[in-house]
Structure formats: C-alpha cells, structure tokens
Chains A and B, each alone.
Chain A
Amino acid sequence: MCSYIVEKAKLVGSAKGPSGWMRVDTANVYYDHPFHAPLDHALGIDFICEADGGRERVAVELSRQSALDLIDAIKAALASGDAAHAQAPQECVTLAASQADVARLF
C-alpha cells in the first residue's frame, strides 16, 4: 500500500550478490507492493551491507504465507542445528587433534 515502512535487522553474515559473495550487515524488511513477484503485496527482504555503502543487495519477495513458513523453517533449522552441534565441541577437539598430529609430522 505504498507505506514506506521498513523494518531494519542488523545481521552478521554473507550473501551472494550480483558481483559474487559479499558481507551483509543489514536486512531491510517490508510488506508492500513487490517489484517482481506476481502478488498484490509481498514480504520483501533486501540483504545489504550498509558499512560498504549499501549499493548492492540480495533481494527476495515472498508471499505472506511463504514468509511465515520461512520463519518456521529458520527456527526449525536453528533448533535442530543447535541439537546437532551440541556434539560439536568433541568433534572439534578430534579435528584439532588430527591437525596437531599432522603438524607434528613436518
């Protein structure tokens, strides 16, 4: 509805943009008319790096329901990842030990 309302989320991460991988520090999130998606309104997210000038972006335009589904999927992925990575410290020790063993050979 031409609202100009944009929610901003601070991020730490990377995204693959028009020039390749780039770091991103901000997500501009809005629910308004999309540019490309054949929808009346869409949940738009622009991943940008304001620290680098914000000239490039990775953009998505999602239907309301698919945006909600994505939120659930993100939460589910984090939850299952957290459970799986609870074993990670031991794996890291094992890997570090292996690297140390290799280093001792040289």
Chain B
Amino acid sequence: MSYPGLIAETVSFQGHNGDKGEAYYARPTAPGKAPGVVLIHHLPGWDEWICEATRKLAHHGFSTIAPHLYFREGPGSPDDLGARVRAAGGVADEQVVGDSKAAAAWLRARPEVNGKVGVIGFCSGGRHAFLVCCRTTEFDAMVDCWGGNVVVDDPKALNAKRPVAPIDLADKINCPILGLFGNDDANPTADQVNRTEAVLKKLGKDYTFHRYDGAGHAFFNAARISYRPEQAADGWAKVFAFFHKHLG
C-alpha cells in the first residue's frame, strides 16, 4: 500500500546534549497513526538522496525523520558541513547515539505516530543503526543497509570517536534486524557480512540478511553508478515489509 499524499519539511529537534539541530521529516497525510522511522544518513551527509529516501519511506506509510548529524558544524550547505566532519575524522559514536535517541523521542511525541519506531541507516549510517540498537532500547526494528566497519579487522580503525566495534556490543541488541548487502561491496566485504551473521546467529538474535549478486555498495542510490535498479527494488520491498511487520 502506498501513501502518495505526504508532507515533507525541515524540522528542529534537540539532539545529543540538548543541542538544537535540524532534521528532514516526511509523513503520510492519510488519516490515522503511522509507524515512525529514524533514517540515519550516509557519510557524505544529509544530501538530496537522503531526503528522497525519507520521502520514499513516507510514501510507503512511515513517518520518517532524518536528523542532520552534521548540524553542529553549521550553518552551511550539507556538502560543506560533510567535508568539515570528514576532515575532523567523522562524528563521534556517542553523539550519533544521542542524536538518534532524540530523533526517536521526537517521533514518539508526535500525535500522528503510533508509538513504534524503527531505524534504518545507509553506508556509515548502517553501522550507526546497528550501533544505536546496541546502545539503546528505543527502537523496535533495525535495518542495516551495507554498513561498513561493524566488524573491525584493523584495530587502527578504532579511536576516541569510534572506540568499539559494534559487533562486540551485539549481545545488547533487542530488536529484529534486517540486513541488506551487495556481494561486490568492499566495506563490508562478503566475508565480514558472514562474520556479522555468525555472531548474530550465535547470540540467538532475530535477524534476516539478504545478499545481492551484481551489487556493491550503495546500490539503492540512483544518483550513483553503483545503483542497481532490480536489486534496489527488491531491497526496498523487503524494507517496507519488514517495517510494516514489526512497526505496524
């Protein structure tokens, strides 16, 4: 079922440490309450495709908020803020967890949201989605879209901002997980996806992983040559079905 009528707007929310930032919010206008989704953007930032993905989730019935994780670097265009964050070594995990929890609370305070909130992240946001569900019980379902560095093979990748590999916290996850991955991806590699799955299986977590041949990283993103229309269509359908099953 689709919800072509929707409202999309930039909103204000209070993130980690009470910092006030902006977010993109899209919701179906159909009467009744809708499930909520927090969308965590990829490393390049809060860009046009992230807004498109937010509206796509609204089109399929989810009130979706995409917090601008780089708002503290502002004001400025999202690409310039992303460049500053990249040069500074990325955003701290602790801050992303705080911003994501705040975005979930923002959704639950909305009268049009049914009280259930999921989280989805792409690329570095996939790792963040995984991490957030290790660190908080705010979310009722989690989708990891090709999040790299969930498994960390090079200890040098751990630092003050990213002190722990998310896989080492996986025992804390208490919501169902959907993982979508391209078999040609370099980060995460197919082997790393296999190892992530092995840990989740050993821990008895509720997870479903889908691996796509002929796809690498970011295969949903129509703005990139990595876009794979058939795999993306199938992946999106799995995301919508998963969220509707667990969020209503």
Q: Are B84 and A54 in contact (CB under 8 A)?
A: yes
The answer to whether A104 has its CB under 8 Å from any CB of chain B is no
Name which residue of chain B comes closest to A59, CB basis.
Answer: B83
Verify B223–A2 contact, CB threshold 8 A.
no
Convert A16-58 into 0s and 1s, putting 1 for each residue whose CB lies closer than 8 angstroms to a CB of B.
0000000000001010111110111000101010000011010
Q: How many residues of A contact B (CB 8 A)?
A: 23
Tell me whether B43 is interfacial, beta carbon within 8 Å.
Answer: yes
* Majority secondary structure of chain B interface residues (helix, strand, loop or mixed): loop
Name the interface residues of B176-211: CB closer than 8 Å to any CB of A: 186-187
Contact A2 B42 (CB under 8 A): yes
Chain A residue numbers with a CB within 8 Å of B90 are 4
CB contact list, A1-24 vs B, under 8 A: 1-4, 6, 8
Residue of A nearest to B47 (CB): A35
B155 CB to nearest chain A CB (Å): 15
A38-B43 contact in complex given A2-B123, A4-B89, A30-B86, C-beta closer than 8 Å:
no
Q: Chain B nearest CB: distance from A8 CB in Å?
A: 8
Contact of B187 among A3, A35, A54 (CB under 8 A): A3
Contact indicator per residue, chain B 223-244, by CB within 8 Å of chain A (1) or not (0): 1111000000000000000000
Beta-carbon contact of B80 and A2 below 8 Å? no
In angstroms, Cα B227 to Cα A40, docked, is 9
Separation of A32 and B223 alpha carbons in the complex (Å)? 15
A1's nearest neighbour on chain B, judged by CB, is B187
Instruction: Give the CA-CA distance A39 to B226 in the complex, in Å.
Output: 8
Instruction: Assess whether B76 is interfacial by the CB under 8 Å rule.
Output: yes
Q: Which B residues touch A48, using CB under 8 A? A: 87
A residues within 8 A CB of B118? none
The chain A residue sitting closest to B82, CB to CB, is: A35
With A2-B123, A3-B187 given, is the CB distance from A28 to B217 under 8 Å?
A: no
Q: State whether A40 touches B87 (Cβ < 8 A).
A: no
A49 → B minimal CB distance (Å): 13
Give the complex CA separation of A8 and B87 in angstroms. 9
Asked if B149 and A40 make an inter-chain contact with CB atoms under 8 angstroms apart, the answer reads: no
A40 CA to B228 CA in the complex, in Å?
12
Does B45 lie at the interface of the complex (its beta carbon under 8 Å from any beta carbon of A)?
Answer: yes
**B159 nearest CB neighbor, chain A only:** A4
B138 CB to nearest A CB, Å = 24
Q: How far is the CB of A29 from chain B (nearest CB, A)?
A: 10
Q: Select which of B79, B187, B217 is within 8 A of A36 by beta carbon.
A: B79
Minimal Cβ-Cβ distance residue in A for B78: A35
CB-nearest residue of chain B relative to A36? B79
Partner of A4, one of B84, B86, B216: B86
5 interchain residue pairs of minimum CB distance: A1-B187, A2-B124, A35-B79, A2-B43, A4-B90
10 contacts between A and B (CB under 8 A): A1-B186, A6-B86, A28-B83, A33-B224, A35-B82, A38-B225, A39-B224, A40-B216, A57-B83, A59-B83
Query: Which residues does A use to contact B, with CB under 8 Å?
Result: 1-4, 6, 8, 28, 30, 32-36, 38-40, 44, 46, 48, 54-55, 57, 59
Known: A4-B90, A54-B87. 6 other contacts (CB 8 A): A2-B124, A3-B187, A4-B43, A33-B224, A38-B225, A46-B87
